[in-house]
């Protein structure tokens, strides 16, 4: 599944339209965010996570979405189920994100 880049205006609609969602918050200046991007793309294509929508949000350009998830550091990941925030983690290790995704399956 493709990663959808979203913003404050579209975020709420995407949460309503998708039952299971993981969001990666990043910033253009964040080196760890850039290094994690290919891993996030690979996870989005992994059959284990079929049915989970993968979203990218620029944390600096989307303050409302950032505040909604309680972003504290970058990269930052949040999972949502039926529009509700389930859990968050600030990490750059793929295993941490796989564990987070497992909570949506």
For each of the chain's 105 residues, which pLDDT tens digit applies? Answer: 789 999 999 999 999 999 999 999 999 999 999 999 999 999 999 999 999 999 999 999 999 999 999 999 999 999 999 999 999 999 999 999 999 999 998
Catalytic residue ranges: 30, 33
Domain count, the chain: 1
Give strand pairing partners of 55. 4, 23
> Tokens 């579209």 map to which residue?
10
In this prediction, residue 84 carries a pLDDT of 96
pLDDT at 105: 80
Q: Which helix (H) or strand (E) holds 31?
A: helix 31-44
* 76-81: strand order across its sheet: 3-6, 52-58, 20-26, 76-81, 84-90
Distance CA 51, CA 43 (A): 12
Q: Give the range of the structural domain holding residue 81, as residue numbers without chain letter.
A: 3-102
Distance CA 32, CA 56 (A): 14
The pair of structure tokens assigned to 92 is 């750059």
Residue 15 maps to which CATH number? 3.40.30.10
């Amino acid at each position: 599944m493709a990663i959808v880049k979203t913003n404050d205006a579209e975020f709420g609609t995407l949460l309503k339209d998708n039952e299971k969602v993981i969001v990666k918050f990043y910033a253009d200046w964040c080196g760890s965010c850039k290094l994690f991007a290919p891993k996030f793309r690979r996870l989005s294509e992994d059959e284990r996570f079929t049915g989970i929508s993968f979203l990218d949000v620029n944390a600096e350009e989307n303050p409302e979405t950032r505040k909604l998830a309680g972003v504290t550091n970058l990269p930052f990941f949040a999972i949502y189920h039926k529009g509700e925030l389930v859990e968050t983690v600030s990490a750059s290790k793929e295993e941490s994100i796989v564990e987070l995704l497992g909570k949506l399956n």
